[in-house]
Structure 1
Amino acid sequence: MHRNTTPLKAIAAGAAMLMALTACGSDDGNQPTGVSDSALAFDSAKYTTINVTIDGVQVPVRWYREVCYVAKPTAVAATQATLGGSTTTIANTACGYQSMNIFVPESAAASNDTALYFAVNNGGWFASYIKASVTDGASFDSATSNVGAALKAGYVFIDVATRSRGLAAADGSYPGKAPAPVVDAKAAIRYLRLNDARMPGSASRIVVNGTSGGGALSSIIGASGNSPDYLPYLAAVGAAGIDANGGSTLRDDVLAINAYCPITDLGNADLHYEWLYTAFGTRAAVGRNPNPAGSAQLAAKFPAYQQGLKLTGSSGAALTADNMMDQIRQEVTRSAEVYMAAGGTIADLGEAMAYTSGAATRTYTNDWIDVDNATKKVVSLDMEKYLKFVATQATLKAAPAFDQTGMTITGASGESNLFGTASEKYSNFTEYGWDNNDVHGDGIGYDDTGISASRHFGLVTTPVMAQVKLINPMAYIGTTADTAPYWYVRHGTRDRDTAFTVSINLARALQADTGVQEVNYRLAWNQPHAGNYDVPEAMAWIAQTLKAAATKGL
């Protein structure tokens, strides 16, 4: 795996952590040196054989059920909240959020080099309880199911559960605060590294797959490989490869990332969103502008933020707010032309354009893109009308889109409960969110504390700024972290859940990282906020990536 040489962009981790990293790198499962390693030995005989059908062919699969990947799992309450706002009762309160289901096609049971397809399932950054994507008697079409396609390819398929926002502990605390989901995913990877010699497949060939919050989790896993920033958190959960001094004896970097619509860069996501949907007056045009002053305030901060990233666009020039709209236009144009080149047809101007929204197929009069289907080229694209089209696919989030808990103006929550201490139900994590919190009695915000965000976030006792960094891939790409060398990132052209600028910046930062071998990025034509809609293409990329990595000795 590569080692970047450019300086750290964020706060130094501290001398003790940096010294601990020097021990990192040993993957010898026969010589456990971590404090918890002996408690995390994989039992290769502890499986149940189930049978599934893939493309009409019966495939026997070994199921290693609910393997707990930490030695000190968090005991959680039996009743948990869900992303949709309801509740659910769980069976495994001891390790149900820190376990993984491992599925091994019998054909790969004796293989030491097949890939590990590592699926994270954190919709909306919400806590992900252990799940089983593979069940006895299930039937898969490998053209539409990434699960079936992975098993058919002979990969080990792993469903990974992690703590994250919304999780309630048995003692009434909130143990899913950032960076819990990243720590748990890294702990699972370390478990696989520790037991590499005992398990089918190769822990050096991990491909991480995720959508939405899972796409964001995939991205930070891929960006922050082996960073010492996470070592104290890993030690606290009893992760493999953490020695008595808090140093690392194992790696947690991965080979490849397969991420869809990543909800990431949360500390700046509100700026992205308001800039995108106010630049052409989109909010006002679709009647979704409940906080115009706040939208304007947030949007005004985007240009300076974007300038500070020092990224370059496709032309090689600096990527700034002044040319970002043109960059989006280029990506949407490329998306349409790739679609037409593959045999797709796009409605002419003034004609009905069909699209799928949930379970329903709807039509929309195309007033924003003019194409020549014969030459498979885009003639013109009206960005103002395009953004209005996107904003009709799903109601725009109110401003601020991501840090809105504690504001009576919206009534929604965003991702605010991913931040704060374990004793706090949530914490605003941006200056705007904190200073404009107007729900009295929640103990959060200037209204309750009398402390401004600029002062509060600088206090030693406030973990929020560190939490924001620890889940943000932009803080680790181009640093001494071992960023994954291969990336496949997709963001739908009609996805309004996060701004297109978020994924564009992610792609451009990765392309500038000299240790990254390939960035396969595209806005996916006519796709909403979703993932795994391009299974044949994604699986072909994974196969090519594995071949290329083997050639390069990765």
Structure 2
Amino acid sequence: MGIGATAGVAAVGGIALNARASEGSSSSSASSDSLVFDPDAYSKLTTTVTDTDGDEHSVTYHFWKAITYVANPVDEKYQSLNVSVPVEIDGTAVDASDAPILFANSVGGYMPSSVADATGIGASGGIVGPGGGAPGGTASASAAPSASADASAAPNANGNTNNTGGALNTNQLLALAAGYVVVEPGARGRTLKNSDGEYYGVAPAAIVDLKAAVRYIRSNKGRIPGNTDRIVSAGTSAGGALSSLLGASGDSKLYDTYLKELGAADASDAIFATGAWCPITDLEHADGAYEWNWGANPLSSGSKADQTVSKELRSQFAEYQAGLRLKGLDGTRLTARNYDEYLVRQYLEPSATTYLAALSDSDRAAYLAANTFITWKNGKATFSWDDFLTHVGARKKSAPSFDAFDLSTGENNEFGSGTTQARHFTAYGQKNDTTGLTAKRLDSDIPELLRLMNPMYFLVDKPNQARTKHWWIRLGTNDSDTSHTVSANLAAAAHTLGDDVNHLYYWDEGHGANTDPGDFITWIAKVTGHRSKVKK
């Protein structure tokens, strides 16, 4: 059973994209002239960027603030973007006219994201809503990591803070210092309501908005600085899911009706490369994947999640995984029976090895003494899957983790419609509903919304030829916001199609970690073939 066996394509519907933010919003179409980038409408700013070696760099850049990227915006506060273009680095003029464009969304938890209050790169208004935070002017800004995750930003085992804002902000600042153009798009999110109580930021609003922003950039080739054929998307958590989806679904006609209604530019929405950190995606299969991965782990209270539910969901995952017929990066056919061995061999042991090898002899000895489940021999770490699960400890979420029986998760809200705040998006959730719903079947528009929100459809069912061919995927080993199989399946699907996949896990890191941002910036230069142009 493949992707399409779970959710087929239905008629487009279920969300009124023109539901206005307030009574005073205009419904009239704007002139197409509104989508022409004004190269002279910038402010000149200077910032200091500290690179991964600890060296400081002075960067002067041109900054375009809150440009509305569609002709018929539902809410300009969210449907706008910022552009930052370096013109001088450490006193030397640079030419970014043909530089890669880092397209960094700050979405967390499928919440709204706005750049309207920006004062410069990385200092946007960011995520707006309960539990949300914005990528601020430093790498310590926090953001809600996933729709149903704990919004707190707590230090992990390695002392880093688990947040999406810091990860993204670091990428943006380093990209600017490398001479790249940085675009920060806003997007609508699940909590937005108009005066009639209608939710106008639920699925598929966020991905439609990001596609419209890409179209705006590409339609302004020759006016907007940077190489519009070398757009590299970046996002964390739900933003990582959207970054993956943006890369997988480039130029898909499934979104055309939505984009036309917004007055999106008549241009391609395909991107060149995708960066995704801990993507919260493949939502309709996420409950089963989560129980396969974390079902044996206790909750923070010390008790276990409902084991009957966990067992039933694990069975669903086994069926789904078998139907994908995916091969791992090493050629292994990935099934529920061998996925644990694959994760240990392909990702977890190499991750632990890299971490331990970088420690001093004394620090390594101390770590191994405190974590006796690891065998360290000939410079390599080995351990079992069960011991790894014990090492991680408490799972983040109960069961089901995403389509909750009581409709309490952010993902339930993401699939809301009209004045209905939350809906089930799996048959299992609908069947076991505890809120008093009488309908036993999912609403008719849910299958299509699931397809529009899941990159796996564009990589497995009918591989999209306009997809990105370059993938940078990262996940912390201690991240129990979703299953480790989610990003591994994404990587395997892209790899199976022959794409360039750079995927690894960060040892002992939690949700939102980004421990190798400098490598990401170097990777962009490598895959795009960019060479910095310094003006002599």
Range of TM-score over shorter length: 0.7 to 0.9
Cα 1:124–1:333 shift into 2, 3 Å:
same
2:101 paired with 1:116? yes
Rounded to whole Å, the distance in 2 between the matches of 1:344 and 1:434 is 53
Rounded to whole Å, the distance in 2 between the matches of 1:98 and 1:346 is 52
8 Å CA contact 1:267–1:468 kept in 2: the answer is yes
Per-residue CA deviation, residues 295-334 of structure 1 (Å, 9 max, x unaligned), is 1211121111100001013442321111101011111011
2:473 paired with 1:485? no
Aligned AA for 2:82? N
Per-residue CA deviation, residues 414-462 of structure 1 (Å, 9 max, x unaligned), is 41111132332111111122122212xxxxxxx32x3213xx34xxxx2
Moved more, 263-272 or 524-533: 524-533
Gaps of 5+ in 1: 1-6, 16-33, 76-94, 242-249, 354-363, 440-446
The structure 1 residue matched to 2:419, chosen from 416, 423, 436, is: 423
Cα 1:290–1:538 shift into 2, 3 Å:
same
The structure 2 residue matched to 1:265, chosen from 273, 278, 282, is: 282
Cα 1:320–1:185 shift into 2, 3 Å:
same
Rounded to whole Å, the distance in 1 between the matches of 2:286 and 2:177 is 38
8 Å CA contact 2:8–2:447 kept in 1: the answer is no
2:183 paired with 1:162? no
Aligned AA for 1:534? D
Moved more, 296-305 or 125-134: 125-134
Report the TM-score when normalising by structure 1: 0.76
Rounded to whole Å, the distance in 2 between the matches of 1:218 and 1:345 is 39
**Aligned residue number for residue 511 of structure 2:** 529
Rounded to whole Å, the distance in 2 between the matches of 1:315 and 1:298 is 27
Moved more, 217-226 or 527-536: 527-536
Cα 1:115–1:209 shift into 2, 3 Å:
same
Moved more, 261-270 or 527-536: 527-536
**Aligned residue number for residue 387 of structure 1:** 389
Q: In the TM superposition, what is the alpha-carbon distance from 1:528 to its structure 2 partner?
A: 0.8
**Aligned residue number for residue 68 of structure 1:** 68
Q: In the TM superposition, what is the alpha-carbon distance from 1:174 to its structure 2 partner?
A: 0.4
**Aligned residue number for residue 365 of structure 1:** 370
Cα 1:382–1:104 shift into 2, 3 Å:
same
8 Å CA contact 2:10–2:448 kept in 1: the answer is no
Rounded to whole Å, the distance in 1 between the matches of 2:300 and 2:60 is 55
The structure 1 residue matched to 2:458, chosen from 429, 451, 476, is: 476
Q: How does 1:426-465 map to 2 (within 5 A)?
A: 426-439=422-435, 447-448=436-437, 450-453=438-441, 456-457=442-443, 462-465=444-447
- Partner SS state of residue 282, structure 1: coil
Rounded to whole Å, the distance in 2 between the matches of 1:335 and 1:345 is 18
**Aligned residue number for residue 325 of structure 1:** 340
Cα 1:549–1:420 shift into 2, 3 Å:
farther
Moved more, 520-529 or 219-228: 520-529
Aligned AA for 1:492? G
Gaps of 5+ in 2: 13-28, 51-55, 125-135, 141-165
Rounded to whole Å, the distance in 1 between the matches of 2:526 and 2:186 is 28
Aligned AA for 2:514? N
2:256 paired with 1:253? no
- Partner SS state of residue 400, structure 1: coil
**Aligned residue number for residue 396 of structure 1:** 396
Aligned length: 461
8 Å CA contact 1:286–1:391 kept in 2: the answer is no
**Aligned residue number for residue 173 of structure 1:** 198
8 Å CA contact 2:479–2:509 kept in 1: the answer is yes
**Aligned residue number for residue 198 of structure 1:** 223
The structure 2 residue matched to 1:44, chosen from 29, 34, 39, is: 39
Q: In the TM superposition, what is the alpha-carbon distance from 1:526 to its structure 2 partner?
A: 2.0
Cα 1:369–1:14 shift into 2, 3 Å:
same
8 Å CA contact 1:42–1:198 kept in 2: the answer is yes
